[in-house]
Amino acid sequence: MPYESAKDPWRGSAVSPTSLGRSGEAVMPSDTADLPRYARVRVFAPGTLDSAQVCILPVWNEDDEAIVLSLPIGLPIVLEFLVRRVLATGTSAGLDIHTVI
């Protein structure tokens, strides 16, 4: 079923880093490829993991300025960064990662 603007009470709202996500897609971490669109990122570390971390490049950081963030287990987190890349190196295997656009 296609998008119906009549069902969207936020259709005229400005998009901002803190607004509701309007679109999203799964993220495959990569050490070389940026996301197709810079986005906020939602990460979930399932309870089967003992510990978890995600390695990101915020939009204004240089390629060698990655940030590694520890994640809580069992709670979905929307990162407080606008992200251009989720790196494979430094990111725990088994995470559920999606863009929030």
On whether residue 35 sits in a domain, the answer given is yes
On whether residue 1 sits in a domain, the answer given is no
Phi-psi region at 15: left, alpha or beta (left = phi > 0; alpha = psi -120 to 50): beta
What's residue 6's pLDDT?
84
pTM metric for this prediction: 0.87
On whether residue 79 sits in a domain, the answer given is yes
Beta strands in the chain (DSSP E): 40-44, 53-58, 67-70, 76-78, 83-87, 96-100
Q: Which two tokens stand for residue 39?
A: 């986005």
On whether residue 13 sits in a domain, the answer given is no
On whether residue 82 sits in a domain, the answer given is yes
Q: Are 83 and 35 in contact (CB under 8 A)?
A: yes
On whether residue 95 sits in a domain, the answer given is yes
Question: Which residues have C-beta within 8 Å of that of residue 19, sequence separation ≥ 6?
Answer: 10, 13
What's residue 49's pLDDT?
96
Better-scored residue on pLDDT, 44 or 4:
44
Q: How many domains does the chain have?
A: 1
On whether residue 15 sits in a domain, the answer given is no
What's residue 12's pLDDT?
76
The residue segments making up the domain with residue 77 are: 23-101
Q: CATH code at 53?
A: 2.60.120
Q: Which two tokens stand for residue 94?
A: 């088994």
Segment 17-75, tens digit of pLDDT: 677 788 899 999 999 999 999 999 999 999 999 999 999 999 999 999 999 999 999 99
Q: Are 4 and 58 in contact (CB under 8 A)?
A: no
On whether residue 68 sits in a domain, the answer given is yes
What's residue 1's pLDDT?
74
Q: Are 99 and 37 in contact (CB under 8 A)?
A: yes
Give residue 3's pLDDT band: very low, low, confident or very high (50, 70, 90). confident
